[in-house]
């Protein structure tokens, strides 16, 4: 088990390094550099920056160094938590991200919980009652959920709710709580506002989890160990929950790591449509404004989140599956 | 290994081939309802299992022998369904019941399944869950079929592991099945089936996946278990050598039907059905020349959807009677006190 953890840690570090290189490349892809952009923005407000002043700035920011030196300086600053400056928000990148990080994680985690609570039981039912009317309904709804983009569902739902109840389904806080300090009332208000975005953001994930769970379980239900348990006189539901469902859940556990960053990037358009204060919404703004430090930090952050998530889900998988845990002992 | 036979032991209940059968299967039909049509996997099967003896069910792959075994416990998987027949079972209490009167998932059926009638399977390596310890899986059987406390169940399970010859039994209880060898797992599965003191053990090709040495050990173990626990065994196999070793009586199946049944000695000395004879002549013998071609049964097993008319064996039969075998179906009839056969050669 220890060798397993050490091996996974090394893999994770290598992957994080690779992601950081890719993010750095992306940040440096647009023509010109940070100073060019700076000159352009200053020029737009009427300030003219002279050539030697620009050169001076390039020296300060190390833009004349070889590319690998620039990378080392950049990654060192990132690790120290200095993420650069966002021109679009006119604030440090770190401050921009931190502002909406809690909302973003709340929305993503809420969706994961929703996906699990809805997707797993329906998936189990669909597999055990294969080709039953319930299975067909679940399959049909599943494909609908997969096929319709989140933002379209959001638009339709927001329109219907506004049209029928006159409630504006945007934002995460009511106006009276927006700047208010945290209280029970504010938390309740937030929870109410979160319900719909969580469900909408979770539809695609739920639909695919239903399909995955159903397929996994259908495979497992045919395995000899199920027949052995049945021959012992265990009731059908008990044996299904104890054996094949346990087997079918393992791959689902490792999938959760991928769901999380997918939800954060998936929330981009949804947040825009519903005006949710999330990192995803800021990401879209940063991309359209070519705010490279902010977008780079978000790309890097999402990438690292995936790797860390995978690392933890591997540990979780090893913890529940003795075949992995005892490997190499 | 003791050499005493089952009938040497004295017990209160009558046993042996002359005693009333513990299981009587009558006209059992188990069909599979597939998209391509109905497959009559078990198509009117009859046999008796006598207390304390071993009934060997022989046949080629796909002849319905495993489905017959699963039908007794009503654990046939969909789209298979028992459509007809009776499975008379004499309970521990002496009460005779038709198992097919009990719905497959009813409490009464589940009390018998794994309690009074246990089953062991062909592939020990995949017949256990790798995510649960062996102890957890044997305890499940004990929890369902005994009223013992947790500690008593553990003691009993350890005791059974020791009896089937697994070293360090109390330590193995906490281990996962993938840490056992194939032979050990088959022993463990026998312990799991035996720990509830069943009256009947159904063994579905328990030695097929094992190497020959381990096979012999498992057969010895099963015979010892039978003697020690006064239990009937239904032994399913395609291996006639195994039948010769372990069975008291034989039922030969072909395409879902019984073609011959009788005591094991009669079967080997004087097989009646042309299929039985063909099977026996295709076994290599000590006296076969080394370069000689082994006789084989001509043709191959028909596709289950495409069953021949009349006697299903007629296209491959050496004694085929034109105009009879391909038109009418023979019935299982007694030719003497012990042997039954389903063939027009023996019908008047």
Q: Which residue has the higher pLDDT, A64 or B183?
A: B183
When pLDDT is cut at 50, 70 and 90, the band that residue B288 belongs to is low
* pLDDT reported for residue B287: 67
Of the segments A56-60, A168-172, B326-330, which one has the largest average pLDDT value? Answer: B326-330
| Higher per-residue confidence, B346 vs B149 | B149
The answer to whether the CB atoms of B176 and A323 lie below 8 A apart is: yes
B149: in domain: yes
**Domain-embedded: residue A62:** no
A235 touches chain B (CB under 8 A): yes
| β-strand partners of B32 | B39, B80
Q: Report the residue from A233, A320, A326 with minimal CB separation from B110.
A: A233
pLDDT for B7 beyond 60: no
B34 touches chain A (CB under 8 A): no
Whether the per-residue pLDDT at A218 is higher than 90: the answer is yes
The pLDDT score that the predictor gives to residue B13 is 60
**Section B73-89 average pLDDT:** 91
pLDDT at position B334 over 60 = yes
Q: Once rounded to an integer, what is the mean pLDDT over residues B108-134?
A: 92
Predicted pLDDT at B11: 45
Mutate to test the interface with B, among A228, A324, A328 (most CBs of B within 10 A): A228
User: What pLDDT shows up at residue B136?
Assistant: 93
Asked if residue B292 is part of any domain, the answer here is: no
In this predicted structure, the answer to whether residue B3 has a pLDDT above a threshold of 50 is: no
Domain count, chain A: 1
Question: How much is the mean pLDDT over chain A?
Answer: 84
pLDDT digits 0-9 by tens, A196-208: 889 888 888 899 8
> Domain for residue A325, yes or no?
no
Whether chain B has a CB inside 8 Å of the CB on A33: the answer is no
Residue B282 belongs to some domain of the structure: no
B256 to chain A, any CB pair closer than 8 A? The answer is no
Quick one: average pLDDT of B62-70? 90
Query: Stretch B125-139: mean pLDDT, rounded?
Result: 92
Q: Specify the CATH number for the domain of residue A233.
A: 1.10.3720.10
Rounded mean pLDDT, B123-150: 92
The closest of B299, B307, B236 to B40, measured between CA atoms, is B307
Report yes or no on B154 lying in a domain: yes
Mind listing the pLDDT tens digit for each residue in B293-315?
Answer: 777 777 778 877 788 888 888 88
In chain A, the residue whose alpha carbon lies closest to the alpha carbon of B105 is: A235
Structural domain contains residue A12: no
Q: Check residue B183 and give its pLDDT.
A: 87
**Residues of chain A positioned with their CB less than 8 A from the CB of B130:** 322-323
Please indicate, yes or no, if residue B146 is contained in any of the structural domains. Answer: yes
Confidence of residue A101 (pLDDT cuts 50, 70, 90): confident
A234 touches chain B (CB under 8 A): yes
Residue B116 is predicted with a pLDDT of: 92
User: Which of A101-110, A118-127, A301-310, B309-318 has the highest mean predicted lDDT (pLDDT)?
Assistant: A118-127
Q: With pLDDT > 70 as the criterion, what percentage of chain A qualifies?
A: 97
Any chain A CB within 8 A of the CB of B182? no
Q: Which residue has the higher pLDDT, A87 or A129?
A: A129
Identify the DSSP state of B91. -
Using the Cβ of A230 and the Cβ atoms of chain B, whether some distance falls under 8 Å is answered with yes
pLDDT of B153 reads 94
Instruction: Burial-class residue A187 by CB neighbours within 10 Å (0-12, 13-18, 19+).
Output: exposed
CB-CB under 8 Å, B127 with A227: yes
Edge-to-edge strand order for the sheet containing B96-98?
B37-49, B23-34, B80-90, B96-98
Task: Answer yes or no: do A235 and B110 touch at CB < 8 A.
Answer: yes
pLDDT of residue A225: 94
Q: Span B127-146, mean pLDDT?
A: 93
The answer to whether B164 and B190 have CB atoms below 8 angstroms apart is: yes
**Is B110 domain-assigned?**
no
ipTM attached to this prediction: 0.86
Rounded to the nearest 10 degrees, what angle do helices A2-28 and A67-80 cross at?
Answer: 120
Q: How far does the CA of residue A230 sit from the closest CA of chain B (Å)?
A: 7
Range of the structural domain that residue A216 is part of:
100-291
pLDDT band at B203 (very low <50, low <70, confident <90, very high): very high
* Residue A188 burial (CB count, 10 A): 11
DSSP A298: H
Q: What does the mean pLDDT of chain B come to?
A: 86
Q: With beta carbons under 8 A apart, name residues in chain B contacting A223.
A: 126
Gap between the Cα atoms of A200 and A301, Å rounded = 24
Read off the pLDDT band of B6 (50, 70, 90).
Answer: very low
* CA–CA dist B187, B74 (Å, integer): 24
- Which has the minimum average pLDDT: A166-175, A183-192, B224-233? A166-175
DSSP assignment of A234-274, as one string?
--HHHHHHHTHHHHHHHHHHHHHHHHHHHHHHHHHHHHHHH
Residue whose token pair is 């002992």:
A329
pLDDT in tens, A265-316: 778 888 888 888 888 888 888 887 777 788 888 889 888 888 888 888 888 8
Q: For residue range A35-48, what is the model confidence (pLDDT) as tens digits?
A: 777 777 777 777 77
Q: Which of A150, A128, A123, A160 has its CA nearest to residue A138?
A: A123
B178: nearest CA in chain A? A323
Is the pLDDT confidence value at A79 over 70? yes
**How many residues comprise chain B?**
348
Put simply, whether the predicted model's pTM sits higher than 0.90 gets the answer no
Lowest mean pLDDT among A1-15, A113-127, A313-327: A313-327
Q: How many other CB atoms are found less than 10 A from the CB of residue A222? A: 10
Q: Do A321 and B141 touch (CB under 8 A)?
A: no
Judging contacts by C-beta atoms under 8 Å, the chain B residues touching residue A232 are 113-114, 118, 140-141, 144, 192
Q: In what helix (H) or strand (E) does residue B97 lie, and over which residues does it extend?
A: strand B96-98
Q: What is the domain range of residue B142?
A: 129-195
A233 to B114: CB separation less than 8 angstroms, yes or no: yes
In a domain? residue A186: yes
Q: Is the pLDDT of residue B326 over 50?
A: yes
The whole-number pLDDT of residue B2 equals 42
Is there a contact between A323 and B178 if contact means CB atoms under 8 Å apart? yes
* pLDDT of amino acid A308: 87
Which of B127, B146, B234 should be substituted to probe chain A, the one whose Cβ sees the most A Cβ atoms within 10 Å?
A: B127
- Provide the token pair at A287: 């991309």
pLDDT > 90? residue B12: no
Query: What is the torsional sign of CA B237, B240, B245, B246?
Result: positive
Q: How far apart are CA B348 and CA B344, in angstroms?
A: 8
Residue A159 has pLDDT above 80, yes or no: yes
Query: Could you give the residue ranges of the DSSP H alpha helices within chain A?
Result: 2-28, 34-44, 51-60, 67-80, 93-128, 133-147, 150-165, 184-221, 224-231, 236-242, 244-274, 279-288, 292-320, 322-325
Mean pLDDT of B308-325: 83
Over residues B252-264, the pLDDT tens digits come to 999 888 999 999 9
> Could you tell me if A73 lies within 8 Å of chain B, comparing CB atoms?
no
pLDDT in tens, B150-192: 999 999 999 999 988 899 999 999 999 998 988 899 889 999 9
The candidate with the shortest Cα–Cα distance to A229, out of B121, B160, B172, is: B121
* pLDDT, position A166: 75
Q: What is the pLDDT of residues A220-249, one digit of tens each?
A: 999 999 999 999 999 999 999 999 999 999
> At a CB cut-off of 8 Å and minimum separation 6, what does A268 contact?
A280, A281, A283, A284
pLDDT in the model for residue B170: 92
CA distance B110 to B104: 8
Number of domains, chain B? 1
Confidence of residue B135 (pLDDT cuts 50, 70, 90): very high
B145 part of contact set with chain A, CB < 8 Å? yes
Distance of residue B71 Cα from the nearest chain A Cα, in angstroms: 11
Does B283 map to a domain? no
């Amino acid at each position: 088990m220890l060798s397993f953890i050490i091996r996974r840690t090394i893999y994770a570090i290598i992957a994080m390094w690779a992601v950081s290189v890719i993010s750095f490349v992306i940040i440096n892809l647009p023509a010109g550099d940070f100073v060019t952009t700076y000159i352009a923005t200053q020029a737009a407000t009427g300030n003219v920056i002279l050539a030697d002043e620009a050169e001076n700035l390039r020296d300060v920011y190390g833009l004349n160094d070889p590319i690998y030196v620039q990378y080392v300086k950049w990654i060192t600053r990132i690790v120290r938590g200095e993420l650069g400056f966002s021109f679009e928000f006119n604030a440090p990148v770190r401050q921009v991200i931190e502002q909406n990080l809690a909302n973003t994680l709340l929305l993503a985690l809420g969706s994961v919980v929703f996906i699990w609570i809805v997707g797993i039981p329906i998936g189990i039912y669909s597999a055990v009652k294969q080709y039953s009317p319930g299975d067909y309904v679940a399959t049909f709804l599943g494909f609908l959920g997969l096929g319709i983009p989140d933002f379209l569902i959001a638009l339709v739902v927001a329109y219907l709710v506004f049209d029928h109840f006159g409630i504006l389904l945007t934002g995460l806080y009511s106006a009276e709580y927006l700047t208010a300090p945290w209280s029970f009332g504010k938390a309740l208000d937030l929870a109410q506002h979160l319900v719909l975005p969580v469900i909408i953001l979770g539809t695609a994930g739920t639909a695919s989890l239903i399909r995955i769970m159903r397929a996994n379980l259908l495979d497992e239900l045919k395995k000899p160990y199920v027949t052995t348990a049945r021959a012992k006189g265990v009731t059908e539901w008990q044996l299904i929950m104890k054996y094949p469902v346990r087997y079918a859940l393992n791959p689902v556990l490792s999938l959760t790591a991928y769901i999380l960053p997918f939800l954060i990037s998936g929330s981009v358009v949804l947040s825009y449509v519903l005006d949710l204060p999330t990192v995803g919404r800021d990401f879209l703004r940063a991309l359209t404004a070519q705010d490279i430090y902010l977008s780079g930090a978000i790309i890097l952050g999402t990438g690292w989140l995936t790797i860390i998530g995978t690392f933890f889900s591997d540990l979780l998988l090893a913890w529940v599956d003795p075949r992995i845990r005892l490997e190499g002992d | 290994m003791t050499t005493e036979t089952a009938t040497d032991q004295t017990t209160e209940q009558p046993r042996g081939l002359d005693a009333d059968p513990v299981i009587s299967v009558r006209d059992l039909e188990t069909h599979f309802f597939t998209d391509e049509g109905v497959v009559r996997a078990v198509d009117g099967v009859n046999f008796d299992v006598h207390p304390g003896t071993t009934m060997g069910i022989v046949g080629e792959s796909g002849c319905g022998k495993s489905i017959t075994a699963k039908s007794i416990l009503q654990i046939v998987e969909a789209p298979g369904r028992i459509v007809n027949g009776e499975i008379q079972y004499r309970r521990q209490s002496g009460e005779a019941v038709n198992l097919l009167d009990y719905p497959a998932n009813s409490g009464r059926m589940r009390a018998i399944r794994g309690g009074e009638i246990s089953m062991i399977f062909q592939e020990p390596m995949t017949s256990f869950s790798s995510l649960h310890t062996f102890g957890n899986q044997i305890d499940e059987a004990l929890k369902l079929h005994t009223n013992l406390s947790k500690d008593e169940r553990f003691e009993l399970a350890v005791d059974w592991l020791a009896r089937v010859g697994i070293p360090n039994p109390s330590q193995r209880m906490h281990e996962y099945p993938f840490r056992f060898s194939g032979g050990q797992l088959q022993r463990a599965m026998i312990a799991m089936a035996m720990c509830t003191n069943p009256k009947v053990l159904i063994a579905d090709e328990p030695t097929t996946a094992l190497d020959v040495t381990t096979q012999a050990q498992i057969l010895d173990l099963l015979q010892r278990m039978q003697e020690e626990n006064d239990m009937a065994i239904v032994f399913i196999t395609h291996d006639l050598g195994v039948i010769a070793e372990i069975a008291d009586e034989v039922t030969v199946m072909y395409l879902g039907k019984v073609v011959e049944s009788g005591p094991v000695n009669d079967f080997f000395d004087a097989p009646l059905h042309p299929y039985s004879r063909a099977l026996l002549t295709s076994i290599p013998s000590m006296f076969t020349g080394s370069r000689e071609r082994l006789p084989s049964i001509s043709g191959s097993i028909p596709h289950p959807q495409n069953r021949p008319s009349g006697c299903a064996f007629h296209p491959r039969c050496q004694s085929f009677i034109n105009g009879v075998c391909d038109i009418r179906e023979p019935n299982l009839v007694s030719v003497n006190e012990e042997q039954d056969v389903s063939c027009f050669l023996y019908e008047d």
